Homo-oligomer: A and B are copies of this chain.
Amino acid sequence: MAPAFLKAEYDERLRRVREVMRARGLDALILGDPSNINWLCGYDAWSFYTPQMMLVDLDRGPFWLGREMDAGAARFTTYLTPEQIIPYPETLVQRADTHPAAFLAIWIAEAGFASAKVGYESDVYYLSPRALEYLRDGLPKVEWIDADLLVNWVRLIKSEAEIATMREAARIAEIAMQTAWDGARPGVRQCDLMADVVAAQIRGTAEFGGDQTAIHPLILAGEAASTAHPMWNESPLEASQTVAFELGGCRKRYNVGLARTVHLGKPSQLLVDTAKAVEEGMNAVMDALRPDVLAGDVHAAWQKVLDRYGLEKKSRIGYSIGAAYAPDWGEHTLSFRPCEAVLVPENAVVHIILGMWMDGWGMELSETLHVTRSGCDRLANFPQHVHLVQS
């Protein structure tokens, strides 16, 4: 086991984060999002179900703060020195009377941050109100600054090494979707088909293996496809069903999303028309997506097509995507929706997902797009049409 990238890559990421910290006057930054921790130092383990943080300072760190039984993973998967790995005792796990954050607050004070200006992530999955309360109680002189998404916005611009890794994830996404297309037919249980799809995601290629995607693989079959995130079940696919797959590939925690649609039988005119609109919409988005375009203007290109077809979609059509653990592969920064006045930078990677959850059925088409110097490249190479299965 070794870190996913060279040390110079992590050094550069740290440098970029510290640059923003200095600009905001932060002495330290506490991360609770395991995706951000992984991105910043490579740390990779399924350990974030008990409290786990990273403290980024301006010179000596960053410091991994986590459970004793997981400290070994910090040695295997990062370049951190033993001085940068701060384990809390096992006895603090899941107690009513105390919290690991109480222990960590003492360490933070002793490390010199008792009166510092400290940023923290306020809206991440794995830094709870109770953890934050224990930190605040233990560090009463700290000036706390909401620094949510600070790292995420830095992550928005991908390095060459990250793009190369995401291209590998895209190869896996293609294989997974091909497995879904090949296996979808009436009578096949959803769970059996998804077993094959997930196995393909994990197996990867002969050259490199895959990981579980951060978003649970989704199969939207029949009326369940009228909602966005249903779980598979054991019922068989049925003739005349439209089945959307929201899959992807994951490589070294980097996720590439890929959604496609299959129809089992002869498609209705409504499906044909909707699919046509969605494919045209994707083309319009890809034509509009380039460095320094406003996210809202990319959405407008989609909306123009949708209006022409008299269709409606209330939700955003995309977001930035990258390194992530469950439950989300989105980076929570860029959102493509009306009037979003944020410029899309070169080397952003975004997942444009055109999900049409209709009345009693639904379809999806997505692409993970790399914003290049002159426009955008799709990472996965997979036909965009609705795949028809004779039933």
Instruction: Give chain A's interface residues, CB within 8 Å of chain B.
Output: 1, 44-49, 67-73, 75-76, 89-91, 93-96, 99, 122-133, 146, 148-149, 189-192, 194-196, 198-204, 208-212, 215-216, 218, 223-224, 226-235, 314-316, 319, 325-328, 330, 332, 335, 337, 355, 357
Contact partner of A203 among B192, B204, B224, CB < 8 A? B192
- Chain B residue nearest to A234 (CB atoms) is B209
Point out the residue from B72, B127, B128, B230 that lies within 8 Å of A227, measured CB to CB.
B72
State whether A76 touches B227 (Cβ < 8 A). yes
CB nearest neighbor in B for A319: B94
Count of this chain's copies in the oligomeric assembly: 2
Chain B residues whose C-beta falls within 8 Å of the C-beta of A148 in the assembled complex = 130
Partner of A93, one of B127, B316, B357: B316
From B69, B70, B191, B196, A314 is in contact (CB under 8 Å) with: B69
Chain B residue numbers with a CB within 8 Å of A123 are 99, 128-131
Q: For A45, list chain B residues within 8 Å (CB).
A: 227-231
Offer 17 A-B interface pairs, CB within 8 angstroms, sorted by A.
Answer: A1-B230, A1-B233, A44-B230, A46-B216, A49-B215, A70-B227, A70-B229, A72-B226, A72-B227, A72-B228, A90-B315, A91-B337, A122-B130, A195-B199, A199-B199, A208-B234, A212-B212
- Chain B residues, Cβ within 8 Å of A89: 314
Partner of A49 from B48, B128, B327, B335 at Cβ < 8 Å: B327
Contact between chains at A126 and B125 (CB < 8 Å): yes
Q: In chain B, what residue has the closest Cβ to A124?
A: B128
Which single residue of chain B is at the shortest CB-CB distance from A205?
Answer: B234
Could you tell me if A202 and B212 are in contact, using CB atoms closer than 8 angstroms?
no
In the complex the two chains form, what is the Cα distance from A366 to B328 in whole Å? Answer: 30
Cα separation A202 to B202 with both chains bound (whole Å)? 13
Q: How far is the CA of A149 from the CA of B94 in the complex (A)?
A: 11
The 10 A-B pairs at the shortest CB distance, nearest first, are namely A72-B227, A191-B209, A209-B234, A49-B328, A123-B130, A199-B199, A326-B326, A195-B202, A69-B228, A195-B203
Question: Which chain B residues lie closer than 8 Å to A69 at the CB level?
Answer: 227-229, 314-315, 355, 357
